[in-house]
Structure 1
Amino acid sequence: MTAPVRVLVCDDQDLVRAGFTMIIDAQPDLEVVGECADGRSSVELANRLRPDVVVMDVRMPVLDGIEATRRLAGVGVAFPVKVLVVTTFNLDEYVYDALRAGASGFLLKDAPSGQLLHGIRTVATGAALLDPEVTRRLIGRYAARVRPADGTPVEVPLAPRELEVLRLIADGLSNAEIAASLVLSHETVKTYVSRILTKLGLRDRVQAVVYAYRHGLVT
């Protein structure tokens, strides 16, 4: 049998941590190996427990989730850790910064438990998790902070079709939705996404979204 995905839960609210832990531990393919209430502890525990995924809150004492994510993504641990940010949209205006810091995706705290489990499994495989609706609202809301000052798109090393796919990724569309929009096969879209990430030197779809907004490719 495949070893279960090892999860570290980091949230300063006891009830939230307990709820996440109960949901995750009920799954045969997932295992909570530790809990903590601040970002500094998440980095310390990650070095000691070597989790596959950290479920991370943003607003916490001692060290916030953004800086903790930056360290967990490769600066402060002996090995990179996947981070899934789980936050309250109306309160946490810094989630965009967490994505830039290296988070593999984010969900809302009031999302169904099935979405949390799917998110953990998704980022554990090395893929990125971007809830389309949340992406459109959140990234769109704060994109002005990272767009070029004059609003002029910069030249990027992509073919026209690749650029089109990148813009759809930035709009929060899944591969299936992109395929339907451009009348392409799912495999063709996957090839385009892989090519885009390689050409731009990006890790995953999250970084692709950040890149698109930073370079003024979407409005």
Structure 2
Amino acid sequence: MTTSVEDSRVLDDPAWLALHGEHARFAQINGLAARYHSEVAPFHALGDPADPQAWQDLDAFVPPGQPVMLAGLGSRPGPGWEVERSIAGVQLVDVSLRAEPDPSLVVLTAADVPEILDLIARTQPGPFLRRTVELGTYLGIRDEGRLIAMAGERLHPPGWTEISAVCTDAAYRGRGLATRLIRAVAAGIRARGETPFLHTGAANVTAIRLYEQLGFHLRRTVDFTAYRRT
């Protein structure tokens, strides 16, 4: 690996850095506010959350009365904004994961999106939109042609790539499918000289335990908060 936990300060605001770097082609920028295209991902970011101008710039992206999701601000709204809801999460980084390719996995493409969205709806791993599959490599496992498990790459700040959408059909859990997928996605990330990281809900103790057993280390807690214009 070419990055380390000590080099991880970019993970304090991975969406902002990804939107100004590897994911610039998916970005909409307005001054100190940025977001992914609405069909790619629901994430927004601020260049300086302490600057009231950043929140004014964000306002241009948000239809009246609609909430906007921001991560890692500690549920501190800017002037003219209020918290609608907040979910506690955690951010973990790879420190000793055994990454390995798995030729039996299938690469998922835009043609697989209907099946992907169906699996996402049944397993609820987090937000996934029609064009999220374009953010990076997504791998899947099929049984008799049916998509039963998947994982892939999402946020891409410098030197790091987020593993996301890790999910398995309820009928196939307990077979190590998520582990195979995480290790294979990580192998692709490592091949680029980057380090995997991921997010999950703080209440999802089963997932956190699995990630730590695989070699991820808890870097920080992080809130996922929906803000609304007052």
TM-score range for the pair, normalised by the shorter chain length: under 0.3
Q: Higher relative CO (CA 8 A, sep ≥ 6), structure 1 or 2?
A: 2
Instruction: Provide TM-score, normalisation by structure 2.
Output: 0.26
Instruction: Provide TM-score, normalisation by structure 1.
Output: 0.27
Greater share of strand: 2
